[in-house]
Amino acid sequence: MKAARQAVNYAAEQLGFSAVGVAPADAPQGDSLKRWLQAGCHADMAWLERHLPLRLDPGKLLPGVRSVIMLTYEYPRYDARKEEGSVARYAQGEDYHKLLAPKLSDLDETLQIYGGKQRCFSDSGPVSERFFAAMAGLGWIGRHGLLVRSCGGSFCFLSCILTTLPLQPDTPMKDHCGKCRRCEEACPTRALSQRRCDARRCLSYWTIESKQTDAPQEIREALRGKMYGCDVCQEVCPWNHMPTSQRVDPHLLMPARLSGMSPDALAELSEEDWERLFANSPIHRTGAAHLRRNILAFPGS
């Protein structure tokens, strides 16, 4: 299957992916995810618990799966907002699901030439993407629970291709966090500990996923200035300040209108203007009412 690996490597590079790695589909995942769920760290994101059997066994998603191909795709390192109200880097441009899906489809077609059957995901299915990315040698799992790379840090999307092809797996990378705990120490709500994130305290959860309106006082205070998501743990990571030659797809850059629009102006958008501004953005999934709720937590609102 050496020819298949060479072909997918070449095609992935042409499509803009920054790295490719392969992990065995039957790599033992241990019980860390199960223990995280049992501790209630997933908050009210019930689908994570419901899909646990699928996450732990890729064969339930693709019978006969032999290999997991993991890919990275860069997104911006810096917040392009010129006004108050930060937006997580991954959500500054177009919806990455829509951007990456046709690219993965092209790679699927490439692998079909070699007789493979595939299923492709990019944060769009019950696959332990960070686990397999680490097993595929693309980086290591940092103390904040994200994949960290020695060249490029953690600001990247992960995509995966489950395939029936028996590809040669890559060697996992050594953990390079050492004694550094900057991400844990910088987290505004102390959501990070023991290399896992407790969603019940995570500002990304509260600004994106949570439908609750009665957040604890500590959380409400920390939410001020966070319009969509939180990148604090990534901002302080030394590996995200290392020079990199990786290029960012222009489709993932923030539009000038969103960059310069004040929180008040965003909160006052009509439904028609909201649709025009966020139709192709990950922010659209959260909805106008949710974004307004986040903005109302700003000082003076």
> Could you list the active site residues?
123
Q: Which amino acid is at 135?
A: M
Joined tokens for residue 199: 């969603």
Q: What are phi and psi of 280, to 5 degrees?
A: -110, 20
SS (H, E, C) the chain: CHHHHHHHHHHHHHCCCCEEEEEECCCCCCCHHHHHHHCCCCCCCHHHHHCHHHHHCHHHCCCCCCEEEEEEEECCCCCCCCCCCEECHHHCCCCHHHHHHHHHHHHHHHHHCCCCCEEEECCCCCCCHHHHHHHCCCCEECCCCCEEECCCECCEEEEEEEECCCCCCCCCCCCCCCCCCHHHHHCCCCCEECCEECHHHCHHHHHHHCCCCCCCHHHHHHHCCEEECCCHHHHCCHHHHCCCCCCCCHHHCCCHHHHHCCHHHHHCCCHHHHHHHHCCCHHHHCCHHHHHHHHCCCCCC
